[in-house]
Every structure is written in structure tokens, then in C-alpha cells.
């Protein structure tokens, strides 16, 4: 898929993004360790269905925004998504897909800025309210070893800056059998930039470090961490080595009525690369539902 790079100008930040196609916009938010271009195989199907795909770089994940990471909390990223949606469609909500960190972005947008979301899809991560219980599972605590590692200043940086083997390991264990191909090069290049890598680590540290939370957005937590009023489609990979599908069993407790939770067969964490056709069908059916 041949993306063009564009800039989405908002009142919060100018966001570099990859874009392709014509028609109603679908905004796609990536996660870690990832790059917007991995939405390419999914975008092929969406563009063929008459949609325009816009995949922004998360704040701090592009050289243009490298120095714009004062705050790195999840609500900051959701506020970014709301600003992007308003810039692309001032008078109506947009369709949106979020993967990994991007899943939290879309879910929290649905909670605090529902008018900016027409239909939303989250992939590979349960909704915010359903996340805390899974942290009590010792097996999941082990799968999240990287999250704990990333809390250690200098140690995490040293591990990831010395080489990118940990990134390759995460990809291999999260989507077993997937060959990232050209995407591996893009991901390595992105996180090969020490500033962008450290920005990604700040997002993980923002889960626990309140100094990374924007105090002006703090009051929104009552809505972003609660079940949203907007129904969402939540997709889990049957073979996900990061968050396995059994941890989506209670996802409905964090979702609005009318939401749907589906498990994608023969897919891991990077399900949009494992099974782009299946994911596209589920997404397009959801977008077209009444």
C-alpha cells in the first residue's frame, strides 16, 4: 500500500500521518512496538471498499513531534485523537480503529469525546474498565514483563538502545509465526531513534507516574476509565501471546450496550497483519451497521 505522508493540523499539535484512498475517513491509531504503516494490509481492503485511511503517528513518535511529550498519560493521547477527529471532520464524528496503545486511545475517546466518534473498533486490548482484573493473573503479570521493565529508568533505555532484539521478541511471541517483512525495518528505524524510543517509554511510565499526567485533563478520568456511552467493536486474537482471548471474557463490563466482542481465529496480537481480510470484514460490517 502506497501511503502519502500528510500533516493534520489541530489546536493541540500538528500530527504527521500516513494517508491513502478516497471517501469517508477511517482513522487508525497504532501501538507499541509499531508503526502506522503496519495498517497497510488492512488499508488495502478499506480503500477497496471506498474509504480513506488516515494513520497518525502517536504524539512523540515522529521526528516532527519528538519534543512534544511533556505529558504521556492515556488521557493526553485520547485528547489528541479527539483533536485529530475534529480536524478531519468538524461537523460529525469519524470512524476509528485503535490497536494496542491505540485501542486505549479509541476507548477513552469514546468515553470523554463521544461526539468525535461515529463507530469505533479496538484491537488486542480490553476496554479500560476491564483491564485491572487481568493484572491479578500471575501468568498475565509474566506476559507483561516488558511493562515492568519499562518502569526502570536507564535500564529500559539501555536494553532497547543497545539493539532491537527485545522488539523482535515481542513481535514473535505476540503474533507467533508472523513474518513482519518490511514492517520490521520500519519499526526498527522508528525505535532506533533514541528520542522516539524514550517517548514510547514515557507512555508506559505514564501508567504509574502521575507527573506525566496532564493536570488539566485529570477530571476526564471519571469518563475515560468508565464504560463509554458509544458501542465499540472489540477484537481479540485467538493466538495473542500478549493478552490472550480469555482476558476478553469480561470485556462487556467495560462497554456500552450494543458493543460486540469477537475473537479473530488464526490471529495473534498484530491481527491486522495476521488476518487483514478477516479484520477488514469485521470492521466494515461494524461501520455499516445501523
CB-side exposure of 256: number of CA atoms within 13 Å?
Answer: 17
Note down the domain range covering 15. Answer: 4-288
Q: How confident is the model at residue 289 (pLDDT cuts 50, 70, 90)?
A: confident
Whether pLDDT at 290 is above 70: no
β-partners of residue 52 are: 25
State percent of the chain over pLDDT 90: 98
Tell me, what's the pLDDT at 237? 98
β-partners of residue 232 are: 120
User: Based on the structure, what is the number of domains in the chain?
Assistant: 1
β-partners of residue 14 are: 9
Q: pTM to 2 decimals?
A: 0.97
Q: How confident is the model at residue 1 (pLDDT cuts 50, 70, 90)?
A: confident
We report the CATH number of the domain holding residue 154 as 3.40.50.1820
State percent of the chain over pLDDT 70: 100
Residue 264 buriedness (CB in 10 A; 0-12 / 13-18 / 19+): buried
Amino acid at each position: 500500500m502506497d501511503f502519502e505522508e500528510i500533516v493534520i493540523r489541530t489546536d493541540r499539535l500538528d500530527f504527521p500521518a500516513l494517508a491513502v484512498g478516497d471517501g469517508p475517513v477511517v482513522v487508525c491509531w497504532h501501538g507499541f512496538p509499531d508503526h502506522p504503516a503496519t495498517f497497510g494490509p488492512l488499508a488495502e481492503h478499506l480503500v477497496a471498499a471506498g474509504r480513506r485511511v488516515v494513520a497518525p503517528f502517536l504524539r512523540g513518535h515522529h521526528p516532527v513531534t519528538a519534543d512534544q511529550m511533556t505529558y504521556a498519560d492515556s488521557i493526553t493521547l485520547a485528547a489528541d485523537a479527539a483533536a485529530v477527529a475534529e480536524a478531519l471532520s468538524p461537523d460529525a464524528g469519524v470512524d476509528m480503529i485503535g490497536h494496542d496503545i491505540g485501542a486505549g486511545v479509541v476507548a477513552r475517546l469514546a468515553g470523554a469525546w463521544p461526539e468525535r466518534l461515529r463507530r469505533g473498533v479496538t484491537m488486542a486490548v480490553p476496554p479500560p474498565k476491564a483491564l485491572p482484573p487481568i493484572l491479578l493473573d500471575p501468568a498475565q503479570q509474566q506476559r507483561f514483563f516488558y511493562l515492568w521493565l519499562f518502569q526502570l529508568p536507564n535500564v529500559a533505555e539501555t536494553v532497547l538502545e543497545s539493539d532491537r532484539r527485545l522488539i523482535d521478541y515481542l513481535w514473535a511471541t505476540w503474533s507467533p509465526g508472523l513474518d513482519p517483512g518490511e514492517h520490521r525495518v520500519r519499526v526498527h528505524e522508528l525505535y532506533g531513534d533514541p528520542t522516539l524510543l524514550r517517548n514510547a517509554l514515557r507512555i508506559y511510565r505514564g501508567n504509574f507516574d502521575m507527573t506525566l499526567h496532564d493536570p488539566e485533563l485529570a477530571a476526564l478520568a471519571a469518563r475515560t476509565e468508565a464504560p463509554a456511552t458509544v458501542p465499540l467493536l472489540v477484537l481479540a486474537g485467538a493466538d495473542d501471546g500478549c493478552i490472550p482471548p480469555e482476558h476478553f471474557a469480561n470485556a462487556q463490563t467495560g462497554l456500552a450496550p450494543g458493543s460486540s466482542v469477537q475473537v479473530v481465529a488464526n490471529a495473534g496480537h498484530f491481527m491486522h497483519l495476521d488476518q487483514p481480510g478477516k479484520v477488514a470484514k469485521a470492521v466494515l460490517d461494524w461501520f455499516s451497521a445501523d
